[in-house]
Amino acid sequence: MTSRIFKDDILEGQVALVTGGGTGIGAAITRELGHQGATVYIASRKPTNIEPAAKGLSEELGREVHAIRADIRDRDSVKACVAQILEEQGRLDILVNNGGGQFFAPAEMISPNGWDAVIATNLTGTWNMTRAVADGWMLKNGGRIINITMLTRRTFPGMTHSVAARSGVEAMTRTLSVEWARRGIRLNSVAPGFIASSGLASYPAGLAVIEQMIPQIPLKRPGTAEEVAWMVAFLAGPAGDYITGQTLTVDGGKELWGDYWPIPDPEDMPDLDIPKEPWDQ
Ligand SMILES: NC(=O)c1ccc[n+]([C@@H]2O[C@H](COP(=O)([O-])OP(=O)(O)OC[C@H]3O[C@@H](n4cnc5c(N)ncnc54)[C@H](OP(=O)(O)O)[C@@H]3O)[C@@H](O)[C@H]2O)c1
């Protein structure tokens, strides 16, 4: 099987690392980069999420996909992961910071530990991996970094911790794209809307609200992991050569229109009192 969109050999000879690359959106990104000829490493914490995926994707692509156990919150683990890739391949051209996660909770229910964990994974974890890859390879040799975020431009009730972390990632991406332009590093963010992938399946309690939200998406359907992967592949390859510091949204128009889910009304709704001008009394 080949890519439905891109040329097969466009990333031939390049090495990519996809965090969380064994599940959902990350697996679709791995598949797409692999179709285009890149040697792909996938990294996450659970062997059950990376080992069967690396085997399955290797068979599907006809080229080896490598699995490394790594926790993006742990700087030693991140450094060891990058060092292993550089030792085995001698280069690391593309980093996709896709690994992440959060839990749905009203702000007043987020515990200090819950807040810290979501920031540590989604903001600091992205920074840890970015710095390790930059220090190990890209500051000297250039490269492309794509950060997977979420819809941050309006609000995201129930996800205060994650929308704060992802907004931080987008600001970091813009800033690094300026600082590291002279190093030949392009950085962009891809913000998925509602994507039918393993990430949504892990919120059983939230599925009802997710169904409620589908009519609120202008294109009236959730996206697919492959549709997010196409945007990542576009930015990772030569089509993206003049794009840096941007957030590209893949959301079927969601961010432009509609509610996410209903928010509760206050107990006493104020009466509508429209003051009259004196001459209208
Ligand atoms: N699906 C959506 O609608 C949607 C929308 C907006 C944004 N996103 C974001 O897109 C990304 C992929 O989502 P998905 O739907 O494919 O969900 P997913 O399958 O839950 O993917 C999350 C991946 O991140 C890895 N991960 C989590 N914590 C990690 C850590 N500390 N170190 C290394 N890897 C870690 C997980 O693997 P391990 O558990 O093995 O570590 C898993 O492979 C996530 O960042 C998600 O928040 C998804």
Q: From ligand 1's centre to the CA of 269, what distance in Å?
A: 39
pLDDT of residue 75: 98
Closest CA to 99 of 129, 135, 75: 129
Q: In the chain, pLDDT over 90 holds for what percent of residues? A: 84
Question: Is beta strand 15-19 parallel, antiparallel or unpaired with respect to 39-44?
Answer: parallel
Residue of the nearest CA to atom 18 in ligand 1? Answer: 199
Continuous segment of H or E residues that includes residue 247: strand 247-250
With bands split at pLDDT 50, 70 and 90, how would you rate the model's confidence at 52? very high
With bands split at pLDDT 50, 70 and 90, how would you rate the model's confidence at 128? very high
Residue of the nearest CA to atom 2 in ligand 1? Answer: 195
With bands split at pLDDT 50, 70 and 90, how would you rate the model's confidence at 219? very high
pLDDT of residue 5: 87
Q: From ligand 1's centre to the CA of 30, what distance in Å?
A: 13
Query: pLDDT tens for residues 112-125?
Result: 999 999 999 999 99
With bands split at pLDDT 50, 70 and 90, how would you rate the model's confidence at 206? low
Per-domain boundaries in the chain: 15-251
Q: From ligand 1's centre to the CA of 160, what distance in Å?
A: 17
Pocket flag, ligand 1, residue 195 (CB < 6 Å): yes
Q: From ligand 1's centre to the CA of 197, what distance in Å?
A: 10
Mean pLDDT of 234-253: 98
Pocket flag, ligand 1, residue 39 (CB < 6 Å): no
End-to-end CA distance of the chain: 75
- Collapse the DSSP code of 162 into the 3-class scheme (helix H, G, I; strand E, B; otherwise coil) and give the result: helix
Query: pLDDT tens for residues 59-102?
Result: 999 999 999 999 999 999 999 999 999 999 999 999 999 999 99
Enter the pTM of the model.
0.96
Q: What is the CATH number of domain 15-251?
A: 3.40.50.720
- Which residues does 205 contact at the CB level (< 8 Å), separation at least 6? 104
Residue 203 in this model has a pLDDT that exceeds 80: no
Per the CB < 8 A criterion, the answer to whether 216 and 260 are in contact is: yes
- Collapse the DSSP code of 22 into the 3-class scheme (helix H, G, I; strand E, B; otherwise coil) and give the result: coil
Residue 208 CA from chain centroid, whole number: 23
For residues 87 and 33, give the distance between their C-alpha atoms in angstroms, rounded to a whole number. Answer: 21
For residues 151 and 198, give the distance between their C-alpha atoms in angstroms, rounded to a whole number. Answer: 18
Residue of the nearest CA to atom 36 in ligand 1? Answer: 20
Residue of the nearest CA to atom 17 in ligand 1? Answer: 199
Question: Is beta strand 15-19 parallel, antiparallel or unpaired with respect to 94-97?
Answer: parallel
| DSSP string of 72-126, one letter each residue | TT-HHHHHHHHHHHHHHHS---EEEE---------GGG--HHHHHHHHIIIIIHH
- Collapse the DSSP code of 153 into the 3-class scheme (helix H, G, I; strand E, B; otherwise coil) and give the result: coil
Return the best residue to mutate from 65, 82, 195, 255 for the ligand 1 pocket (most ligand atoms within 8 A of CB): 195
Tokens (6 digits) for 122? 């989604």
Return the best residue to mutate from 41, 42, 98 for the ligand 1 pocket (most ligand atoms within 8 A of CB): 98
Average pLDDT value for the chain: 95
For residue 21, which atom of ligand 1 is closest to its CA? 43
For residues 10 and 280, give the distance between their C-alpha atoms in angstroms, rounded to a whole number. Answer: 71
Helix residue ranges, H only, the chain: 24-35, 47-61, 75-89, 112-119, 125-133, 139-141, 160-179, 198-201, 207-213, 225-236
With bands split at pLDDT 50, 70 and 90, how would you rate the model's confidence at 204? low
Q: From ligand 1's centre to the CA of 199, what distance in Å?
A: 6
Residue of the nearest CA to atom 28 in ligand 1? Answer: 100
